Amino acid sequence: MYLVLTALLALNVSAEVLQAFQNITVGIEETIDVTVAKNVETFEGLVQKAGNMEGDENATKVVERAKKAKEICSALYDYLQVIKVEIVETESGGQMYDTGEENYMETGELKDPKNIDVATMILVEKRAGNEPKGIELKNKINSVRAELVALFDGLEGVAPAYKDEVDKALTLRADDDPNQKQAAKRNWEYATFNSVPRGAAVALLTNLQNNVKNAEAEILTRLYSQLSAAKLEIDELVPVVKATKSAVAVGEKYEAKIFLSAKIGAIDPVITVDGQAVPTVDAVGEYSAVPSAQGPVKRKVTIAVKNPKTGKDDLYETEMAYDVFKAPAIISADKMNVVYQGLDNPISVSVPGFEPERVSATMSPSNLGELVREAPGKYIAKIKTRHPKGVDINVSVKLPDGSTKSMGSANFRTMRVPSPTASLNGNVGPTITTGALGAVKQVSVSLGDFVFEGIRYNVTKFDYVWKPVRGNPLTESAKGAAIPNQLRAAFSAAKRGDLLIINAIYASSPGLGEVPLPGSLVFTVE
């Protein structure tokens, strides 16, 4: 997620990007809620299992360390929350975080989200002679990580190498980069928060809170496994799916580790995702996939472990869930926004960061036509009446709390389909050879360069005059597009200088009705 935010910061701070920051923040907060619920479940399971191991000194230590882990992580989480509140409320025109009118928690929108000075002032610049708050935050993050790793000291079966493994598994870290050429950028707080828009700073701090809860989950899961360290019997196993990211862009690889929180000696579990086997290394399943389309993804995960007592497989099931989104790059030809009267105009609607099922669109004014939903993100605009100001396609999204939020609109000009043009096998005059004339079987019509697919006109009637150089003229009317037999006979006897006039041509198309074609076709035989 941090990589996604960094990539977005490289773009111009447009409205779409600022909205993307807000969407990412909402997505991370939803992930935090899931992790918090899982942590509660893991902790309660740990306490329950330890209660069944009455008198076990190691189990008592594990429960104490688990409580300490929760306290450490809660303190850092609350500290990050204080900074978030300060970021939201500082120089924001009176906007409060969760109190008062138009507060951030109620509206879900920041005032002045483009402000790049607030995060710098609070987290990067010195304050009244004190170190920047970003340095204090960095030290707290690294101190908390060290404290969490130290919780495994003195537990049964814990070697120094295991503590190194725990440290590497924690995503909660704030490391300086000594390899940066610019001295200022070597500092984590500068590289992370300097000149960052307010909306991005809130997203970054929310992501750090997510890392805190993930660290708590990692520690609780590993402490749970320590309840049975150096013991052969385990009375409960908890399946865990640990994803590198909770959301990925289309075409980006999704990766996850699937494992049981307590390993059973040298027994490797059999792990499947939607029935497909997943390779395992040291009892940890390594799953990866490359999504080709955006939207929510859910996979059924099954972990089978052979019970040493019964010799049969014990099955443990869970669900893997993540969102696939497209990067918020939106390109459109503004002057080409046109819908045609009488046609089924296809309209595609999407909002970066939201699944198509949560996006809806309407047309206004409604008396000019209707917008019919064909599928998620796909609509048909049916225009009955044209208007000089055109029509607006209005887009809104359904938020996780069930409320609806407007995401803007786009204006489309309303136009008639251009009149078709007539020809004789593509020839529009003023001359025609006797050979070409003899090959003519009907009057053809075409829309020329009009690119709208599926529109076809057919000639319904026309008048004609055949005036030979010698002989009497022939004047008649015809129904349909075909050349009448009488006129075709005249074509067969055509001489140089004969004259053909086709006028009063009408053509029709489904949904568009019958229209007169402009002009006439006039040919002199050569």
CATH class of the domain comprising 237-331? mainly beta
Structure confidence at residue 30 (pLDDT): 92
Reported as a pLDDT band with limits 50, 70 and 90, residue 253 is low
Structure confidence at residue 144 (pLDDT): 95
Q: What integer is the mean pLDDT of 161-185? A: 89
Q: What integer is the mean pLDDT of 476-503? A: 90
Q: Is the pLDDT of residue 45 over 60?
A: yes
How confident is the model over 128-149, as pLDDT tens digits? 767 888 999 999 999 999 999 9
Q: State how far the Cα of 304 lies from the Cα of 458, in Å rounded to an integer.
A: 67
Q: Is the pLDDT of residue 236 over 70?
A: no
For residue 42 the two structure tokens come to 């893991």
Is the whole model's pTM more than 0.85, yes or no?
Answer: no
Lowest mean pLDDT among 209-213, 326-330, 360-364: 326-330
Q: Is the pLDDT of residue 453 over 60?
A: yes
Q: State how far the Cα of 256 lies from the Cα of 324, in Å rounded to an integer.
A: 14
Q: State how far the Cα of 22 lies from the Cα of 28, in Å rounded to an integer.
A: 10
Reported as a pLDDT band with limits 50, 70 and 90, residue 263 is low
- Note whether 361 and 347 are within 8 A (CB): yes
Helix 160-169 vs helix 198-226: crossing angle, to nearest 10:
150
Give the chain's mean pLDDT.
83
For residue 262 the two structure tokens come to 């307590």
Q: What integer is the mean pLDDT of 236-248? A: 62
Q: Is the pLDDT of residue 9 over 50?
A: no
Q: Is the pLDDT of residue 6 over 70?
A: no
Query: For residue 471, which of 506, 445, 499, 446 has the smallest C-alpha distance?
Result: 499
Q: Is the pLDDT of residue 329 over 50?
A: no
Q: State how far the Cα of 385 lies from the Cα of 330, in Å rounded to an integer.
A: 30
For residue 434 the two structure tokens come to 């006797």
Q: What integer is the mean pLDDT of 51-61? A: 85
Structure confidence at residue 7 (pLDDT): 40
Structure confidence at residue 31 (pLDDT): 92
Structure confidence at residue 18 (pLDDT): 62
Same fold for the pair 237-331 and 334-415: yes
For residue 197 the two structure tokens come to 């828009």
Identity at 257, one-letter amino acid code: K
Structure confidence at residue 322 (pLDDT): 72
Q: What integer is the mean pLDDT of 86-110? A: 86
Q: What integer is the mean pLDDT of 193-208? A: 91
Q: What integer is the mean pLDDT of 453-473? A: 87
How confident is the model over 411-437, as pLDDT tens digits? 898 888 888 888 898 888 899 998 888
More confident call, 417 vs 237 = 417
Structure confidence at residue 467 (pLDDT): 93
Q: Is the pLDDT of residue 489 over 50?
A: yes
Q: What integer is the mean pLDDT of 69-98? A: 91
How confident is the model over 264-315, as pLDDT tens digits? 555 678 899 998 888 888 777 888 888 777 778 888 999 887 765 456 788 8
Strands of the sheet containing 270-273, edge to edge, are: 247-249, 313-325, 295-306, 270-273, 276-278
Structure confidence at residue 447 (pLDDT): 83
Domain over 334-415 is classified CATH 3.30.160 = no
Where do we find the tokens 């997203």?
A: 203
Give the residue extent of every domain in the chain.
2-232, 237-331, 334-415, 421-525
Structure confidence at residue 262 (pLDDT): 58
Reported as a pLDDT band with limits 50, 70 and 90, residue 5 is very low
Structure confidence at residue 309 (pLDDT): 43
SS3 content of the chain, % helix, strand, coil (to 5): 35, 30, 40
Q: Is the pLDDT of residue 17 over 80?
A: no
How confident is the model over 380-407, as pLDDT tens digits? 888 888 888 889 999 998 887 788 888 8
Q: Is the pLDDT of residue 12 over 60?
A: no
For a pLDDT cut of 70, what percent of the chain falls above it? 85
Q: What integer is the mean pLDDT of 244-261? A: 62
More confident call, 232 vs 328 = 328
Q: What integer is the mean pLDDT of 100-115? A: 86
Reported as a pLDDT band with limits 50, 70 and 90, residue 23 is confident
Lowest mean pLDDT among 217-226, 231-240, 329-338, 498-507: 231-240
Structure confidence at residue 463 (pLDDT): 93
Structure confidence at residue 15 (pLDDT): 58
Q: Is the pLDDT of residue 517 over 50?
A: yes
Q: Is the pLDDT of residue 325 over 80?
A: no
Q: What integer is the mean pLDDT of 368-375? A: 90
How confident is the model over 334-346, as pLDDT tens digits? 567 888 888 888 8
Q: What integer is the mean pLDDT of 351-379? A: 87
- Range with top average pLDDT, 9-18, 92-101, 135-144, 468-477: 135-144
Q: What integer is the mean pLDDT of 102-112? A: 85
Structure confidence at residue 167 (pLDDT): 93
- Note whether 323 and 400 are within 8 A (CB): no
Cα 334 to Cα 289, 331, 365, 407: the distances in Å are 36, 9, 20, 17
